[in-house]
Structure 1
Amino acid sequence: MEHELFLLRHGQTEWSANGRHTGRTDVPLTPAGENQARAAGLTLGTLRKGQALVVTSPRRRAVRTAELAGLVVDETTEDLAEWDYGDYEGITTADIRKTVPGWTVWSGPVPGGESAADVTARADKLLDRVRAALAETEVILVGHGHFGRVLVARWLGLPAQSGVHFGLDPAGVSVLGDERGEPKIEHLNIPPS
């Protein structure tokens, strides 16, 4: 692999600011989120070395983040969409725990949504495509918090549930690469500057 993979989480939305699980719901960026996206573009500009394939989730919060960051989107794909929270869409973890004590998306059931195995399969499919593209160009994936954390875990060969250990804040930039053939994290969750 000759090039690096950049992950950009979308900027702040009203739901991300108040901890509501936001998978399929297409909420817009807040004004603060728009500013974060612009700043993330500056951060990316200092890290990138050349041309890039830019792929986004189809959710407008991701597409708008890419646009405000100054990126030209080459493709949108559901493969990069956020974890499908099913019946927990729009609900906070604290509210879910009132009926399912100790629940987390990483270890608990997600009724009507995606399991960790489902998300793993989707992440692996996407990363197979990314690894092939990295032979030719840098790749920038613009997506979401939980799914981005799964991508980091799977990049390293860890189970999706290990994503719990990687924080990705709104408009945070992460860089994944390798060292002599071993996958590694170059940078994790650089805040927009």
Structure 2
Amino acid sequence: MNGRLVVLRHGQSTANAAGVFTGLLDVPLTDAGEQQALQAGALLRADGVIPDLVLTSTLQRSVRTAELVTEAIGRDLPIESAWQLNERNYGALTGHSKHAARATLGEVAFTRIRRSLNGQPPRMPLRQWWALRRSSALRDLPWSAVRRTETLSDVIDRVRPVLTGRIMPALVAGSTVLVVAHGNSLRAVCAVIDGLSEVELAGLNLPTGQPLLYRLDDDRGFRPRGGTYLDPTALTAAALVAAEGGT
């Protein structure tokens, strides 16, 4: 039996609700986000998509989502965390309003930073970076895990080894793998498995709490291209993410 991969952006966080750049800030889920996670688990259970392995980032919004998903499924499932699945570091924009940043930077620069492969936010000030580095979700990680800024290309580079070294072997063995992570780290996963062009990647928006299913084919490719949302209303949710300026 060929393996199945489910990618799931964590439920709505308090920073999502506030419309700020979250990045590596370790913020909790909102009540609505917890409900999204439970609903995602119910969707997986109803479709018979029961993970053999759950991978998360080290950030609490991802870990808590995974816990609630497994609770809704009703199984004691193994959960592993990998820092490489952490959200992109938005540098000096971290914690700032997206609306205000758009007004300050202008539409072209804002879109380049948010959506392009190589658009780079200004570097995070050293004091802010050091405080972030000492947070409970990040303090024991290698120095390379907490840069002062990142491009989406940087995120793809750090996600790729987890995909090839941990996820693919499990899928080849026939397992179902659930990856619970973040808008940009999951865009990076999709970029690799779907072979997305830069234009396609710029247009990819992943809504919170919506499981996206892929199947591994006999040639070790992923089908269908772009995956299939278990909830058909997810496409509407993705359009709302795009209207806010993207994942």
TM-score, normalised to structure 1, is 0.87
Shift of 1:131: 1.3
Once structures 1 and 2 are overlaid, which stretch shifts more, 26-35 or 144-153? 144-153
CA contact (8 A) 2:87 2:182 kept: yes
Partners of 2:96 and 2:78 in 1: CA distance: 30
SS in 1 for 2:40: helix
Aligned pair 1:187/2:228, yes or no?
yes
SS in 1 for 2:28: coil
2:122 alignment partner AA = P
- How many positions carry a matched residue from both structures? 192
Once structures 1 and 2 are overlaid, which stretch shifts more, 34-43 or 178-187? 178-187
Residue matched to 1:121: 157
CA contact (8 A) 2:155 2:184 kept: no
Shift of 1:30: 0.8
CA contact (8 A) 2:156 2:185 kept: no
Residue matched to 1:57: 57
Residue matched to 1:111: 122
Aligned pair 1:132/2:137, yes or no?
no
Once structures 1 and 2 are overlaid, which stretch shifts more, 113-122 or 66-75? 66-75
Partners of 2:187 and 2:9 in 1: CA distance: 10
Residue matched to 2:201: 163
Residue matched to 1:96: 101
Residue matched to 1:20: 20
Which structure shows the higher strand fraction? Answer: 1
TM-score, normalised to structure 2, is 0.70
Shift of 1:58: 0.9
**CA 1:124–1:159 in structure 2 vs 1: closer, same or farther (change >3 Å)?**
farther
* Gap regions ≥5 residues in structure 1: none
Aligned pair 1:86/2:94, yes or no?
no
1:187 alignment partner AA = T
**1:20-46 Cα deviation digits (max 9, x unpaired):** 111111111111111111111001113
Aligned pair 1:153/2:158, yes or no?
no
Residue matched to 1:30: 30
**1:146-166 Cα deviation digits (max 9, x unpaired):** 221222122111256633322
The structure with the larger Rg is 2
SS in 2 for 1:69: helix
SS in 1 for 2:228: strand
**CA 1:93–1:161 in structure 2 vs 1: closer, same or farther (change >3 Å)?**
farther
SS in 2 for 1:70: helix
Residue matched to 2:211: 173
**CA 1:141–1:160 in structure 2 vs 1: closer, same or farther (change >3 Å)?**
farther
SS in 2 for 1:58: coil
CA contact (8 A) 2:12 2:29 kept: yes
* Gap regions ≥5 residues in structure 2: 72-76, 124-148, 235-247
Shift of 1:51: 4.5
